[in-house]
Structure 1
Amino acid sequence: MKYVTYIVIAIAIALIVLNITKLDFNNLFQGESVVALICIFAVLCAVILLLIFNTSKAIDNKNKE
């Protein structure tokens, strides 16, 4: 399960990079840039949740031992 979360985190980072390329820094809050910003924040939330999940699994494994 640990490796699956790392693969999903790697895919999420790739999505962040892809969305950064779609940003128009001159008109950041117009058109396609808004969609890219929303996607970047959503992916960051997903990464944070996955990291919390990994931490909770590690704590659970230590408590079982």
Structure 2
Amino acid sequence: MNRTFALILILLALGLIAYNVTLVDFENPIQGDSTIALIGIVASLCAIVLMLIFMTSKKIDKKLKK
């Protein structure tokens, strides 16, 4: 997996976060579709964190091989 693919996945996750924020009812955030939207936001944030960890590990691996 190269860097551009990882960046595309991060951008898609950010897009999903933006979409899910529009679905959240901030007056009742734990009822109905708002709960599903909050789960989607958390899942997208987890995907971003995992991709950043993956990119960092690739950088470390590249430096160790030199």
TM over 0.5: yes
**C-alpha distance in 1, partners of 2:29/2:15?**
21
Number of aligned pairs? 65
**C-alpha distance in 2, partners of 1:46/1:13?**
10
Deviation of 1:38 (Å): 0.4
Aligned twin of 2:13: 12
Query: Which ranges in structure 2 are unaligned for 5 or more consecutive residues?
Result: none
Query: Which ranges in structure 1 are unaligned for 5 or more consecutive residues?
Result: none
Indicate the percent of aligned positions where both proteins have the same amino acid: 49
* TM-score, L = length of structure 1: 0.98
Superposed structure 1 runs of 4+ greater than 2 Å apart: none
Summarize the alignment of residues 30-45 of structure 1 with structure 2, pairs less than 5 Å apart.
Answer: 30-45=31-46
**C-alpha distance in 2, partners of 1:15/1:39?**
8
SS at match of 1:5: helix
* TM-score, L = length of structure 2: 0.96
Aligned twin of 1:24: 25
